[in-house]
Amino acid sequence: MSTPPQDPKSSDSKGISQARGAQTLIVVDDEDNLVEYATRSACHLDRRLRHRAVVLFVYNDQEKVLLQKRKNELFDGLWDLAGATHPLHSEDQDESYQDSVARCLQDEWGISTAMTRILSFTYYAADGDQCENEYCVLFAGKYNGALDPSPEHVYESRWVDWSQLREELEKEPGQFTPWLKVAADLLAGNVFRDEDQIEQSFAQWASLKEALGPS
């Protein structure tokens, strides 16, 4: 089941983009240690400013993965996982990764569900004269209820099998966000030993990480 596509670029898109650009992001090194703070606009114009981000992997009881066609000033119109955002800094306080995930779910889908931290990675990708240089943490969780996609964030959405997503990535990689492609490769190579057992794979991965302890 998918949502119908939204009209591209509503009349207030410029105002939304400007408001997002004024947000303060958390700039870190390759090991996620705090370096400084910078506006979102600055981070997306200066490739040296690696900043924190999260990406959300949402699946349902049928082991289908939620995708959205992204509505954003960066990588607009590309297919993404359920959501992606940045932990924010405000009034001498840094938003946690977990809190930014909860905010993203509420803002983009109008939902709340338990999400577990799975893995992290860094990447750089350019989009015209802007870019993303992120320390990105992937969270995963299951959701089976109704969705209320925000027209400010989502053009359209759909649920797909993991195997179908992998096939589409192979055939049309340019239709997907750069971080989705990195996350998919990491999940396929490290977490999903059986592509038909998403929930079981995540549970086994979490148990392994707990047994190994902090790295």
pLDDT in tens, 54-80: 999 999 999 999 999 999 999 999 999
Over residues 188-201, the pLDDT tens digits come to 999 997 766 899 99
Domain extent at residue 142? 2-212
Tally of domains within the chain: 1
Residue with tokens 């969780």: 141
Choose the weakest-confidence range: 10-19, 107-116, 153-162, 194-203.
10-19
CATH code of residue 170: 3.90.79.10
The predicted structure's pLDDT at residue 28: 98
Average pLDDT, the chain: 90
Is residue 209's pLDDT more than 70?
A: yes
Q: Which two tokens stand for residue 69?
A: 């066609």
CB atoms within 10 A of CB 112: 12
The predicted structure's pLDDT at residue 5: 56
Nearest residue to 59 via CA among 164, 140, 146: 140
The predicted structure's pLDDT at residue 144: 97
Q: Which two tokens stand for residue 68?
A: 């959205």
Nearest residue to 78 via CA among 188, 168, 195: 168
Mean pLDDT across the stretch 69-94?
96
Query: What band does 16 get if pLDDT is binned at 50, 70 and 90?
Result: very low
Beta carbons of 142 and 199 less than 8 angstroms apart: yes
User: How far, in Å, are 8, 76, 154, 203, 210 from residue 11 at the CA level?
Assistant: 10, 16, 15, 44, 48
pTM over cut 0.95: no
**In 3-state terms, what secondary structure has residue 119?**
strand
The predicted structure's pLDDT at residue 52: 98
Beta carbons of 57 and 65 less than 8 angstroms apart: yes
Residue with tokens 């009034």: 91
| CA atoms of 171 and 178, how far apart (whole Å) | 15
Q: Which two tokens stand for residue 77?
A: 């119109």
